[in-house]
Amino acid sequence: MKLHFVGGRKGGVGKSVFTRVQVEYLRSQGKKFTIAECDRVNPDVGRIYKDSEEVILAYFSEDERKRSKADALFAAALKTTVIANLPAQVHQAMLAWFTEDALYELAAQERVSFCHWYVSNGGYDSVQLFFKTVRDLQEWVPHVFVRNWGLCDDWTHVDEDPEFQSIIEDYTIPVIDLPKFPYLERNVIEANQLTFSGAVTHKELSVVSRQRIKHFLRQAFGEIEKAGML
């Protein structure tokens, strides 16, 4: 089985949106999966899907006495695919979870694999933190770099950066796009705490708005499939 982390090291880069897209993708494929909500400050993914999908709560802590709070993720991954919505600033606690207890050895024994979908807004800090995340975790956790076009509409500065090119090539990291999501439809979805699939039948959205959502999902699903990790 596979444990998928959706992160980005920073708040506001689109982690929750991309997590919800992955949930909708797995739904569309008829696959069994579990959602893991790891963001205690803003558990929006767990809240939105709590009545329609299996949701577990887990969190990472740098406190050694609380490191076991993340163990539910691994237990769930022994049974099915897990999509984990990570909070910001989780890297050190996550790294300790893997290394201090040699979790990577247990994963090999139990045939559990990992993937970290790193969502970026294209900002300098976001990209630099991606470099560190890959260098610290890539040995055990393959990465996918997700360019959020809703927050950055020109990625030339990232794509042409020599260090970025080197890391992508050295570690064979897929680069995919999270398409821009229209503001009107996004606001209605957020205001009403809707899932994407629930939004396509919502009474406040016109037939054109529903088409925009369907088109967005088709584009996003195509990008997920391009990565070949889910």
pLDDT digits (tens, 9 = 90+) for 92-118: 999 999 888 888 899 999 999 999 999
Beta strand ranges found along the chain (DSSP E) = 2-7, 33-37, 55-57, 81-85, 113-120, 143-148, 175-178
The pTM of the full predicted model, rounded to 2 decimals, is: 0.95
pLDDT band for position 31 (50/70/90)? very high
Do 106 and 28 meet the contact criterion of CB atoms below 8 Å apart? no
Beta carbons within 10 angstroms of residue 21's beta carbon: 24
Residue labelled with tokens 């610290």: 136
Identify whether the C-beta of residue 188 lies closer than 8 Å to the C-beta of residue 202: yes
- Residue range 72-84: average pLDDT? 96
pLDDT at 82 over 90: yes
Asked whether the predicted pLDDT for residue 12 surpasses 90, the reply is no
Dihedral of CA 172/114/158/132: which sign?
A: negative
What is the Cα–Cα distance from 25 to 5, expressed in whole angstroms?
15
Contact 9, 88 (CB under 8 A): yes
Integer distance in angstroms from the first to the last C-alpha of the chain? 11
Between the alpha carbon of residue 46 and those of residues 23, 141, 151, the distances in Å are: 11, 23, 23
